[in-house]
């Protein structure tokens, strides 16, 4: 895993959208690459934008846009929980406020569901799509019941000891056998813990959501990434996504649910290859 740290990103900034104060960051702003589009990165359940830094460093001059979802990281919590379509609306207005028209989009886990919804809701804003460790909502093949029960509560964000005990079986991959890596991740996870209400609000956004009825209408070239040892989102879900999205291809990576971090050196070239094609 790439070492955690500040990376090459600019200082974090805030923008007001629909009464919410959203924290965002633009990395490698204005990078000079012919025909390049910025890459919008959407983090998973309870995560904060800093979790992208190991991967951002390896993407080099790829301009990246990251943000904290409402109720996560340093963004404010909505008074009423948002549905997935409303979260997509917040993201669209964030792009508007930052002056971005069309972007490439990558989402991981819950962020992958939001990336699908954004592509469905505003297809003209998405050039290429990358879906990592994610599924399609209702109808998805469930993961390990014990791992899913641990995911249902945000304790891992509040206690490093809890994270270190549960992460190996919960996330799989290298975290099963590398205690130093688990301790490193635990410190990072606790940097910006979500509020409990914000965490459950994100889960609420996923309840009742399903992309199966319209996946066949996603026309964007799509890269589906999956770990081969993911207790939370089994590989079969990625195979189904890649099979239903017309212009999708699947790449399976050695690793667990956090393969984007534990195998960042192997994944970064795949991402660059997708957005630079």
- What pLDDT is stored for residue 3 in this prediction? 37
The pLDDT of residue 8: 44
4 domain residue, yes or no: no
Phi, psi of 45 (to 5 degrees): -55, 120
Let me know if residue 2 belongs to a domain: no
CB atoms within 10 A of CB 112: 29
Within-domain flag for 1: no
Q: What are phi and psi of 97, to 5 degrees?
A: -65, -30
Sign of CA dihedral 118, 123, 125, 129: positive
The per-residue pLDDT for 36 is: 83
Q: Which of 1, 25, 39, 7 is nearest to 273 (CA)?
A: 39
Sequential pLDDT tens for the chain (277 residues): 343 333 344 578 999 999 999 999 999 776 545 568 999 999 999 999 999 998 999 999 999 999 999 999 999 999 999 999 999 999 999 999 999 999 999 999 999 999 999 999 999 999 999 999 999 999 999 999 999 999 999 999 999 999 999 999 999 999 999 999 999 899 888 888 999 999 999 999 999 999 999 999 999 999 999 999 999 999 999 999 999 999 999 999 999 999 998 999 999 999 999 999 8
Question: Would you state the pLDDT for residue 21?
Answer: 97
Domain membership of residue 5 (yes or no) is no
3-class state of residue 68 by DSSP: coil
Q: Is the residue at 8 inside a domain?
A: no
- Closest to 261 (Cα-Cα) out of 44, 31, 27, 22: 44
Per the domain annotation, does 93 fall within a domain? yes
Radius of gyration (C-alpha) of the chain in whole angstroms: 17
Q: Note whether residue 84 is domain-resident.
A: yes
In a domain? residue 6: no
Q: Which domain holds residue 126?
A: 13-275
Q: How many residues does the chain have?
A: 277
Tokens matching residue 13: 């900034």
- pLDDT value at residue 277: 83
Q: Which two tokens stand for residue 47?
A: 């995560």
Strands (E), the chain: 13-17, 20-27, 39-42, 64-67, 103-108, 126-132, 222-227, 248-253
pTM of the model: 0.94
Domains identified in the chain, total number: 1
Q: What is the CATH number of the domain that holds 64?
A: 3.40.50.1820
The HSE-up count of residue 25 (CA atoms within 13 Å, CB side) is 26
pLDDT of residue 187: 84
Buried b / exposed e across 48-68, counting CB within 10 Å, b at 16+? bbbbbbbbbbbbeebbbbbbb
C-beta separation of 9 from 53 below 8 A: yes
Q: Give the residue numbers annotated as catalytic, written as ranges.
A: 109
Whole-number pLDDT of residue 167: 96
The enclosing H or E element of 23 equals strand 20-27
Q: In what order do the strands lie in the sheet with 13-17?
A: 13-17, 20-27, 64-67, 39-42, 103-108, 126-132, 222-227, 248-253
For position 31, what pLDDT does the model report?
58
């Amino acid at each position: 895993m790439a070492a955690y740290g500040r990376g090459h990103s600019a200082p974090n900034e805030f923008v007001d959208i629909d009464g919410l104060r959203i924290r965002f960051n633009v990395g490698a702003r204005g990078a000079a690459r012919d025909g390049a589009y910025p890459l919008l990165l959407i983090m998973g359940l309870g995560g904060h934008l800093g979790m992208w830094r190991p991967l951002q460093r390896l993407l080099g001059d790829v301009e990246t846009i990251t943000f904290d979802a409402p109720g996560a990281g340093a963004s404010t919590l909505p008074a009423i929980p948002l549905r997935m379509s409303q979260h997509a609306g917040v993201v669209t207005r964030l792009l508007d406020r930052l002056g971005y028209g069309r972007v490439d989009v990558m989402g991981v886990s819950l962020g992958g569901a939001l990336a699908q919804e954004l592509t469905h809701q505003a297809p003209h804003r998405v050039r290429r799509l990358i879906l990592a460790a994610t599924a399609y909502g209702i109808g998805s093949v469930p993961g390990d019941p014990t791992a899913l029960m641990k995911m249902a509560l945000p304790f891992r964000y509040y206690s490093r000891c809890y994270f270190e005990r549960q992460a190996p079986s919960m996330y799989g991959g290298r975290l099963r056998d590398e205690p130093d890596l688990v301790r490193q991740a635990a410190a990072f996870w606790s940097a910006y813990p979500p509020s409990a209400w914000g965490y459950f609000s994100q889960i609420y956004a996923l309840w009742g959501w399903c992309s199966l009825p319209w996946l066949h209408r996603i026309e964007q070239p799509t890269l589906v990434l999956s770990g081969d040892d993911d207790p939370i989102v089994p590989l079969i879900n990625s195979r189904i996504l890649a099979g239903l999205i017309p212009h999708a291809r699947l790449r399976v990576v050695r690793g667990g649910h956090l393969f984007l971090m534990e195998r960042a050196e192997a994944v970064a070239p795949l991402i660059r290859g997708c957005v630079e094609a």
